[in-house]
């Protein structure tokens, strides 16, 4: 029987669960047993979806292909932004902008407020780099050494570091997940970032208060800062550190506030970073172009600093972009074949109100994080599952994108087998299960998001969203 004569039927819950469960199994085996990446398991998962869609549901390959290609096309802006982010990181490091941010950020440390200062410092570095992994794996390691000298418990210090690292990762326009979430929800990048300030800002204040209370017990102890001073001296000898360089990120922030489109706004930041490299660091035009393409290889002689500053470039984003393409292919197939829809309908039976819809979204993202072990899938799958429902209920897309980050991004480091949890534990030398109670920002964010959902605080309506077609149509008719 050919596809032309095969009778089409709707997917059942079992049809949807088979590829999802098998793919999760392949993912967990690849990550936990083989120590591999998640790309190929997602490709294999896509093959499983195809077989079920063709031989059980009656789809043709052309229909399936159209589904995932349309899904990928819908996120091309985010993919292009990721490519630009690679270039901007390269020029900002070469131009001394990132070193300047770190240089002044390191001086925030205070003996009486080590935990708070660590969280703030990691927030600054992560905002500048857009990477929680880089922050924890470099500055975080240095802070763990300082914590040991102060007698601050390792899990407590790790929690402050991770909280700060994920704050910046979540709110930085340079972060891949910060770009992916609005792409999945159909929201504008900068609208998404501004909307996250409500839940993330509330969570951040709660975490700061908690770390302040915990850190009070360590007040009065003298801070041993030779490692920090070494970093400061090396940075000042290898880069022209100047407050003037802080103007560049300020300009980018102003552009965000002025609602400049993301791509030209970030390209302006890239060009300014290149000019900073030429004017302040004495770099050649060739070096600037090389930094945009391949990033920067730092050779200061300090391992921690070299690890932090060896990154960036267009090519550095290809691993993430390829992973997103694999995840979008898998998710696009599930959506096209109706498998996501049947699961979403079953789950949405429990979501009668806005608060319960937010709760279902949060729990779904955490569930994917725990089983699939990947934060990208924890954003992509729930995003595609609930996008239409948020729209049907008259909720602006930025509400969904915020939920995806509050749960998908923030809880990824709380599972030992998740790529993020494994990375944090490996960098800081603290088992995941031990730092979980102190990674306050990470586990409080989904709780705050649910509270906002039930109370309606900052839950923007679709008709009130200036970026939504519904708003523009309303304005035009008025």
Contact of 192 with 458, CB cutoff 8 Å: no
Ranking 57-66, 257-266, 348-357, 453-462 by mean pLDDT, the lowest is: 257-266
Q: How many CA atoms lie within 13 A of 308 on its CB side?
A: 29
Q: Which of 202, 207, 136 is nearest to 169 (CA)?
A: 136
Per-domain residue ranges of the chain: 76-317
Task: Indicate if the pLDDT at residue 147 is higher than 90.
Answer: no
- Report the DSSP beta bridge partners of residue 311: 296
Contacts of 193 (CB under 8 A, 6+ apart): 171, 173, 178, 256
Tokens of 292: 């945009």
Tokens of 319: 């691993």
What distance in Å separates the CA atoms of residue 270 and residue 315, rounded to the nearest whole number?
15
Q: What percent of the chain is modeled with pLDDT above 70?
A: 92
Q: Which of 180, 164, 118 is nearest to 374 (CA)?
A: 180
Placement of tokens 């300014």 in the chain: 272
CB atoms within 10 A of CB 381: 26
Handedness of CA 163, 108, 269, 95 (dihedral sign): negative
Q: Which of 122, 227, 104 is nearest to 169 (CA)?
A: 122
User: What's the pLDDT score for residue 149?
Assistant: 66
Q: Which residue has the higher pLDDT, 418 or 334?
A: 334
Per-residue pLDDT reduced to its tens digit, 72-102: 887 787 788 878 888 988 898 899 988 887 7
What distance in Å separates the CA atoms of residue 114 and residue 108, rounded to the nearest whole number?
9
User: What's the pLDDT score for residue 477?
Assistant: 43
Q: Mean of the per-residue pLDDT values for the chain?
A: 85
Q: How many CA atoms lie within 13 A of 159 on its CB side?
A: 26
DSSP 402: H
Contact of 365 with 158, CB cutoff 8 Å: no
- Contacts of 387-393 spanning 24+ positions with Cβ under 8 A: 387/184, 387/185, 387/186, 389/344, 389/348, 389/351, 389/357, 390/185, 390/357, 391/186, 391/462, 393/354, 393/357
Q: What Rg do the C-alpha atoms of the chain give, in angstroms?
A: 23
Q: Is 63 helix (H, G, I), strand (E, B) or coil?
A: helix
Task: Indicate if the pLDDT at residue 400 is higher than 90.
Answer: yes
Task: Indicate if the pLDDT at residue 249 is higher than 50.
Answer: yes
Supply angle C-alpha 139, 142, 148, rounded to 5: 140
Contact of 343 with 13, CB cutoff 8 Å: yes
Confidence of residue 259 (pLDDT cuts 50, 70, 90): low
Per-residue pLDDT reduced to its tens digit, 342-391: 887 788 888 889 999 999 999 999 988 876 667 888 898 888 888 888 99
- Report the DSSP beta bridge partners of residue 296: 311
Q: Which of 398, 363, 396, 410 is nearest to 382 (CA)?
A: 363
Burial 274-306 (b: 16+ CB within 10 A, else e): bebbbebbebeeebbebbbeebbebebebebbe
Q: Which of 35-44, 311-320, 353-362 has the highest mean pLDDT?
A: 353-362
Per-residue pLDDT reduced to its tens digit, 419-450: 788 788 888 889 889 999 999 999 999 999 99
What distance in Å separates the CA atoms of residue 170 and residue 197, rounded to the nearest whole number?
10
Name the CA dihedral angle for 234, 238, 242, 247, rounded to a multiple of 10 degrees.
-110
Q: Which of 145, 159, 153, 150 is nearest to 220 (CA)?
A: 150
Average pLDDT over residues 227-234: 80
User: What's the pLDDT score for residue 475?
Assistant: 45
Tokens of 190: 């900068």
What distance in Å separates the CA atoms of residue 133 and residue 376, rounded to the nearest whole number?
15
Instruction: Give me the count of residues in the chain.
Output: 478
Contact of 377 with 368, CB cutoff 8 Å: yes
Burial class (CB in 10 A: 0-12, 13-18, 19+), 53: buried
């Amino acid at each position: 029987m050919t596809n032309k004569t095969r009778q089409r039927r709707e997917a059942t819950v079992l049809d949807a669960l088979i590829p999802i469960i098998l793919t999760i199994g392949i993912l967990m085996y690849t990550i936990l047993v083989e120590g591999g990446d998640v790309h190929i398991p997602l490709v294999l998962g896509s093959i499983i979806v195809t077989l079920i869609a063709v031989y059980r549901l009656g789809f043709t390959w052309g229909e399936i292909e159209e589904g995932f290609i349309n899904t990928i096309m819908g996120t091309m802006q985010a993919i292009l932004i990721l490519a630009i982010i690679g270039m901007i990181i390269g020029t900002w490091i070469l131009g001394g902008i990132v070193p300047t941010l770190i240089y002044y950020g390191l001086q925030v440390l205070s003996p009486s407020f080590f935990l708070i200062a660590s969280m703030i410092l990691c927030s600054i570095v992560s905002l500048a780099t857009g990477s929680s992994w880089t922050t924890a794996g470099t500055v975080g390691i240095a802070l763990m050494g300082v914590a040991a000298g102060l007698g601050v418990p390792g899990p407590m210090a790790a929690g402050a570091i991770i909280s700060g690292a994920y704050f910046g990762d979540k709110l930085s326009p340079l972060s891949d997940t910060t770009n992916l979430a609005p792409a999945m929800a159909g929201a504008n990048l900068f609208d998404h970032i501004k909307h996250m300030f409500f839940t993330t800002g509330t969570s951040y204040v709660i975490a700061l208060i908690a770390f302040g209370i915990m850190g009070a017990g360590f007040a009065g102890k003298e801070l041993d800062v030779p490692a920090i001073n070494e970093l400061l001296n090396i940075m000042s000898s290898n880069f022209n550190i100047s407050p003037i360089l802080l103007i560049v990120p300020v300009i980018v922030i102003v552009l965000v506030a002025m609602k400049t489109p993301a791509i030209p706004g970030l390209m302006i930041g890239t060009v300014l970073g290149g000019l900073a490299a030429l004017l302040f660091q004495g770099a050649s035009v060739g070096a600037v172009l090389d930094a945009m393409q391949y990033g920067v290889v730092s050779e200061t002689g300090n391992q921690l600093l070299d690890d932090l500053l060896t990154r960036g470039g267009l090519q550095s984003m290809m691993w993430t972009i390829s992973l997103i393409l694999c995840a979008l292919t898998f998710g696009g197939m599930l959506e096209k074949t109706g498998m996501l829809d049947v699961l979403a309908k079953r789950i949405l039976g429990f979501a009668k109100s806005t608060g319960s819809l937010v709760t279902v979204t949060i729990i779904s993202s955490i569930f994917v994080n725990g089983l699939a072990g990947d934060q990208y899938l924890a954003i992509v799958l729930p995003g595609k599952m609930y996008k239409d429902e948020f729209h049907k209920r008259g909720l602006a897309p930025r509400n969904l994108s915020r939920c995806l980050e509050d749960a998908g991004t923030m809880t990824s480091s709380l599972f030992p087998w998740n790529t993020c949890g494994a990375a944090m534990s490996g960098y800081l030398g603290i088992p995941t299960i031990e730092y979980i109670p102190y990674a306050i920002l990470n586990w409080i964010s989904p709780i705050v998001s649910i509270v906002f959902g039930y109370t309606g605080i900052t839950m923007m309506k679709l008709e009130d969203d200036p970026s939504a077609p519904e708003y523009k149509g309303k304005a035009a008719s008025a």
